Amino acid sequence: MHEHGVTFAASDDDAFNLNSAVAGAVKDAQIRGNPLVIRSLLGYSAAQRALQGQGKAYKDATKYLLANMLQSICKKLEIELFYGQMGYGTVSAVNVNDITITTAEWAPGIWAGSENMPIEIRNAAGNVIRGETTISAVNLDTRILSVAATPAGTVGTDVIWHKGAYGNEFAGVHKILSNTGTLFNISASAFSLWKASEFAAGGALSMEKVEKAVTRGVAKGLEGDVSVFVNINGWTNLLTEQAAKRSFDQSYNQSEVTNGGKAIKFFGVNGGTISIEPCIYVKEGYGYVLFMEDFMRIGSTDVSFKSPGGDGEYFRHVENSAAYELRAFTDQALFCAAPGKNVIITGIVNS
C-alpha cells in the first residue's frame, strides 16, 4: 500500500516497489534588523553646574539622564516586540480632542507616561494618513487620549502609530502570529507550518481556554515548555479562578492566608509546563502562546550608547546649539523559526 510517499509491506518476505522520493521543501528566510534611536540633550550650563558640584554631582546628572533614556528605548522596544507593524491602538470614538481606544486594542503599558508623545493617525489599511498630533493627557481608566488637535477625518477603526513608526518597524509577535501572507520571504499560504494557529476565546479567559489554545500548537508539532502572555485584566480573571478552586492542606493557617503569584504554572498536553504571565504591554483582546525557543532577536547591535565605529565617546557637541547630545541606538528585529507551533488567542473580553 502506498500513501504520501511512504511504502508499506505486508511482511518482511513480501516484495514491493518503492514510492518515488518526495523532495523536502526548504526556503530561505530573509530578515534584517531595524534601527531605533533615542536622543537627549544636556545643555552646557547644566553640565557646567554639575561639574562645579564636583564629580559626584556630574555623575548623578548623567546617571539619571542615561537611566531615563535606557528606560524609554527599552519600553519602545518592548512595545515593538509585541506590536511592531501593527500600531499602538485602534480608535473607538472621537469627541473633539478626546480619542477613545477600543477595549480589545488597549494596553495600559503602551500609554502610561505618553504625555507629549508625537503620534500619527492612519486608516485601518495604513495607506491613508489622517494627520499628526501630540498627546497631552492620558486617562488609563477610560482609555481616552487627549490630544493637542484631532486630525481631520479621524474615525473609528483608524489606527494610532508612534510618529514615524509606520513602515519603519520590524514585525512583532502579533504580526508574526496573525500573518497569512508572505513574511520573512516565506508564504504562509504555501506552507501551513509557517502560519500560526489561532484560538478564539469568545469571552473571558479561563484555564480551560488556555489549555485548548495550547492544543492548537501541539497539533502542529509544539512540544516543550511554553509561555502564555496575557493582559493584566485577563491575568486577574485567571488568578481569581485559581483562587476559587484552591484547596488548603495541613499547612493552612487561619490567622494568615497567602494568595496570588507572579505566574500560573501547570503541566499540559504540550509535554511541559504552561506558564501564564501578565504583561502591561499586551492588549486586552489578545493572548499569546509562545514556544520561546522558536524566537530570537536578530540584528547588528543590542541597545548601546556608543556610536557605530566611534572612539568610545558618548557625548557629541550639537551644531548651532550650546548643548551636548547623547544617543541610544539599537538595530534588531524579531524572528520566529516556526510560527506554526505558536498560538494567538483572540476575542478575549475581560470581566
67-117 per-position pLDDT tens digit? 888 899 999 999 999 999 999 999 999 999 999 999 999 999 999 999 999
Computed over every residue of the chain, the mean pLDDT equals 86
pLDDT, tens digit (0-9, with 9 covering 90-100), for 200-212 = 999 999 999 999 9
Residue with grid cell 531615563, as numbered in its chain: 68
Instruction: Read off the pLDDT band of 2 (50, 70, 90).
Output: very low
Question: How many independent structural domains does the chain possess?
Answer: 1
What confidence tens digit (pLDDT) does each residue in 296-322 have? 999 999 998 887 766 666 777 787 888
**Residue 186 belongs to some domain of the structure:** no
In a domain, 142, yes or no: yes
- The whole-number pLDDT of residue 51 equals 66
Across 261-289, average pLDDT: 92
- Taking each continuous run of H as one helix and of E as one strand, the counts in the chain are 6, 20
Q: Rounded to whole angstroms, how far apart are CA atoms 155 and 140?
A: 21
- Is 154 contained in some domain? yes
On whether residue 235 sits in a domain, the answer given is no
Of 103, 160, 114, 110, the C-alpha closest to 138 is 114
- Asked if residue 342 is part of any domain, the answer here is no
Q: Is residue 101 part of a domain?
A: yes
User: What is the band of 3 on the pLDDT scale with cuts at 50, 70, 90?
Assistant: very low
Which pLDDT does position 258 carry in this prediction?
46
Structural domain boundaries enclosing 118: 89-162
Q: How far apart are CA 66 and CA 7, in angstroms?
A: 65
The angle, 0 to 180 degrees and rounded to 10, between the axes of the packed helices 54-83 and 44-52 is 130
* Strand ranges for 11-167 from DSSP E: 34-43, 89-95, 98-101, 118-122, 129-139, 144-147, 159-162
CA–chain centroid gap for 142, Å, is 23
Contact 344, 196 (CB under 8 A): yes
Helix (H) or strand (E) holding 73: helix 54-83
CATH number of the domain bearing residue 157: 2.40.30
Tell me the pLDDT tens digit for each residue of 14-50. 566 788 766 556 667 888 889 999 888 777 776 676 6
